[in-house]
Amino acid sequence: MFNPQLYARQYGFPPMAGRQLGYLFVCDPPQQTIDELSEALLASRSAITGTVRLHENYRMTRRTRTAGNRADRLSPDPASPQPWNFDSAIHEEQAALLREGLTLLADAPPERRAPLEELVALTEFLAERLPELLNEWHHRRQKLRASGKLPR
């Protein structure tokens, strides 16, 4: 379901991050404590805690805590208001860094500047389009929920 090697190769995630996320989508009960995850995945608490932080940074999981309970419960967050692959700020920041690189190559021949210019154009395009795509997704998700194809 969540291939640890894919997440390691594609996003630089440790293999435990893929295992943990996949488990959270299929486990019973659907919310797990760090201790429960540690036991189920045969991993140390520190490995679980580290991947929980990673998932939270990417808005892949959420923590909840019931009144009077000291342990957080973790669950996947596929309905995050800002899904983890749609953050245009990352691309805006990358474009700014690439433009700085272009200033270093101001006197370089066009063929030397071409790869950076193309990357600037790509990151600017992604930064511009991702908010629109996210908005389209929210509308589609709303329609799917209204039709009963997705749960509310």
Domain spans in the chain, listed from the N-terminal domain onward: 4-76, 88-147
Instruction: Note the pLDDT of residue 1.
Output: 52
Instruction: Note the pLDDT of residue 149.
Output: 95
Instruction: Note the pLDDT of residue 108.
Output: 93
Task: Give yes or no for a cis peptide into 29 (omega within 30° of 0).
Answer: yes
* 52 vs 46: CA distance, rounded Å: 10
Instruction: Note the pLDDT of residue 83.
Output: 60
For helices 34-41 and 45-57, angle between their N-to-C axes, nearest 10 degrees: 110
Instruction: Note the pLDDT of residue 2.
Output: 57
Instruction: Note the pLDDT of residue 70.
Output: 86
Pick the CATH number of 4-76 from 3.40.640.10, 1.10.10.10, 3.40.50.2300, 3.40.605.10: 1.10.10.10
Query: Would you say 132 and 88 are in contact if contact means Cβ atoms under 8 Å apart?
Result: no
- Phi and psi dihedrals of 102, rounded to 5? -65, -35
Mean pLDDT of residues grouped by 10 in the chain (152 residues)?
68 85 87 95 95 87 86 81 71 91 93 93 94 92 94 82
pTM for the full predicted model: 0.66
Instruction: Note the pLDDT of residue 56.
Output: 87
Instruction: Note the pLDDT of residue 145.
Output: 93
CA dist list (Å): 61 to 25, 38, 54, 72: 10, 16, 9, 12
Instruction: Note the pLDDT of residue 35.
Output: 95
